[in-house]
Amino acid sequence: MALDMNPDFKGRDFLSIHDYTREEVAYILQFALQLKKMQKTGQPHQVLAGKTLGMIFQKPSTRTRVSFEVGMYQLGGYPLFLSPNDMQIGRGETIKDTALTLSRYLDGIMIRTYSHDEVLELAEHASIPVINGLTDLLHPCQVMGDMMTILEYKGTLQGIKLAFIGDGNNMAHSLLYGGAKTGMDVVIACPKGYEPEERIVKSAQQDALETGARLWVVEDPREAIENADVVYTDVWASMGQEKEAAEKEKHFARYQVNQRMLDLAKPDAIVMHCLPAKRGREITDEVMDGPNSVVFDEAENRRHIQKAIMALVMQ
């Protein structure tokens, strides 16, 4: 199976799904499916042989670190883990100087951090591709993997209804962008005061004019989940919000994805969670371990979609 590596992606950053056209998003998804098939059938695809990805982690990680590290290895490259405890950026070196230095050593940078502005600054000064592994604003690689999973189960994204039940966080933001670029309808259900950022909603709705996707925000989770093809949830308190967890639980109690809630969706609806999950809070064991759950297929696809992104931008 020959790999068609579109040269138009070479050298580009992957910071937000919003930055890519609908055709480019579709291409990445199909490329990831091809890479997955090759990996599953034992076909070599070491298209990044001799290249090195630096992975900066300001936030702890299970899925992001392992999926990027294994993915880079399978592409024939070398993944280099960079902890802030081991770098001068953790001791006051500027992001600009870090970007300029790493650009002399590496072929690409993946960063998982808090501030999205830091990622934008890193990308501005780096002469090599920068991949957003997560910020407090966006989680684009996760959503690309999510859409790959939906595509596998539903055969299409156009016209699929995805209901996200929970906090209007980085996942909600990236799902809105993902839906906008693929024609997938996305409804976010969250308590008042926890809505997605209005600027993200507006820019996603502008993107959606091209694909016909419907994007909206509601307060009632039951309204959102009715007749949904995909039911999605996430932790109520994201990393770094631990002090707010107890207060958030009061507001989010009726937003738990349990069997009663799931029964409002289509019978063949799939259940998704970006993980890690707080079982018994935003999702019950019954649902997460039930027949509708594709949570661990979704987790696996992080590796395949990120391989596609790395291969294309670092070629």
| Structural domain for 95, as ranges | 7-138+300-313
In a shared domain, residues 290 and 149: yes
Distance of alpha carbon 193 from alpha carbon 233, whole angstroms? 18
Name the H helices within 42-169: 63-74, 95-105, 116-125, 140-154
Tens of pLDDT, residue by residue over 251-278, are 999 999 999 999 999 999 999 999 999 9
Distance of alpha carbon 101 from alpha carbon 109, whole angstroms? 12
Tens of pLDDT, residue by residue over 45-96, are 999 999 999 999 998 889 999 999 999 999 999 999 998 888 877 678 899 9
| pTM for the whole structure | 0.96
Task: Please state, in angstroms and as integers, the Cα–Cα distance from residue 289 to each residue in 189, 285, 294, following that order.
Answer: 23, 6, 9
Strand blocks (E) in the chain: 52-57, 78-82, 108-112, 130-134, 161-165, 185-189, 215-218, 230-233, 270-273
In a shared domain, residues 119 and 129: yes
Q: What is the pLDDT of residue 90?
A: 64
In a shared domain, residues 74 and 163: no
In a shared domain, residues 65 and 16: yes
In a shared domain, residues 95 and 145: no
In a shared domain, residues 179 and 257: yes
Determine, yes or no, domain membership for 304: yes
List b or e across 66-97, with b for residues whose CB sees 16 or more CB atoms inside 10 angstroms.
Answer: ebbbebbebbebbbbebeeeebebeeeeebee
In a shared domain, residues 73 and 154: no
Query: What CATH code is carried by the domain that includes residue 26?
Result: 3.40.50.1370
Task: Give the dihedral of Cα atoms 88, 90, 95, 96; nearest 10 deg.
Answer: -20
Tens of pLDDT, residue by residue over 201-227, are 999 999 999 999 999 999 999 999 999
In a shared domain, residues 146 and 274: yes
Q: Which residue has the tokens 């189960």?
A: 153
- Left (φ > 0), alpha (ψ -120 to 50) or beta: where does 280 sit? left
Does residue 276 have a cis bond before it (omega within 30 degrees)?
yes
What is the average pLDDT across 284-308?
Answer: 98
In a shared domain, residues 153 and 257: yes
Structural domains counted in the chain? 2
Residues with catalytic function? 112, 139, 142, 234, 274, 302
Tens of pLDDT, residue by residue over 151-183, are 999 999 999 999 999 999 999 999 999 999 999
- Please say if the pLDDT value at position 5 is more than 80: yes
Alpha carbon 117 to its chain centroid, in Å, reads 18
Q: What is the pLDDT of residue 250?
A: 87
In a shared domain, residues 251 and 308: no
In a shared domain, residues 149 and 132: no
- Please say if the pLDDT value at position 239 is more than 70: no
In a shared domain, residues 195 and 229: yes
Sign, CA torsion 266/267/270/276: positive
